[in-house]
């Protein structure tokens, strides 16, 4: 009997390039590019995004059905896909950390053009009166 990992691996391998969910976030000033996602990482990310999208769509659809049984099924399926998406994203981020040896970096991300980056955490802005109070 195949494991969930076997089933997911086959589904990841079947993701077609025309169905990729490319990230839309542009590279920022504090981003340090360390590479570009290969085909396997693109497939992992895209399948996780597909499942996340389907999960959200099912939750919206569940809100507007007239049949309690149908509603419960949609909610159950949405939760299932949401959990699978989260797990697949963990595999995606772990893969990036392993491949690019960025376990020690405070923040890693994926940007438009499939760029893989690490970033320093942004410091929250200090309100003007506090800055004035503590500045010399």
| Interval 53-108: pLDDT, tens | 999 999 999 999 999 999 999 999 999 999 999 999 999 999 999 999 999 998 99
Q: Do the Cβ atoms of 33 and 115 come closer than 8 Å?
A: yes
Range of the domain at 109: 23-134
Phi first, then psi: what are they for 33, rounded to 5°?
Answer: -70, 135
Count of domains in the chain?
Answer: 1
Would you say 88 and 8 are in contact if contact means Cβ atoms under 8 Å apart? Answer: yes
In a domain? residue 17: no
pLDDT value at 135 more than 80: no
- In terms of pTM, does the model score above 0.95? no
Distance of alpha carbon 101 from the chain centroid: 19
In a domain, 18, yes or no: no
For residue 81, is it within any domain? yes
Mean pLDDT of 108-131: 81
Q: Would residue 12 count as lying in a domain? A: no
Instruction: Round to whole Å and give the CA distance between 49 and 121.
Output: 24
The yes-or-no verdict on residue 24 having pLDDT over 70 is yes
Q: What are 109's strand-pairing partners?
A: 117
> What pLDDT is recorded for position 120?
82
pLDDT in tens, 48-64: 999 999 999 999 999 99
């Amino acid at each position: 009997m195949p494991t969930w990992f076997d089933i997911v691996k086959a589904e990841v391998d079947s993701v077609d390039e025309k169905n990729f969910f490319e990230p839309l976030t542009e590279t920022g000033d504090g981003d340090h590019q360390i590479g570009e996602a290969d085909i396997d990482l693109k497939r992992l990310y895209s399948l996780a995004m597909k499942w996340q999208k389907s999960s959200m769509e099912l939750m919206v659809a569940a809100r507007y059905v007239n049949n309690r049984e149908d509603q419960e099924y949609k909610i159950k399926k949405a939760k299932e896909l949401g959990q699978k998406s989260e797990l697949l994203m963990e595999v995606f981020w772990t893969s990036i950390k392993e491949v690019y040896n960025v376990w020690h970096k405070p923040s890693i991300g994926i940007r438009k053009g499939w760029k893989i980056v690490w970033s320093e955490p942004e410091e929250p802005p200090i309100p003007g009166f506090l800055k004035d109070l503590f500045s010399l």
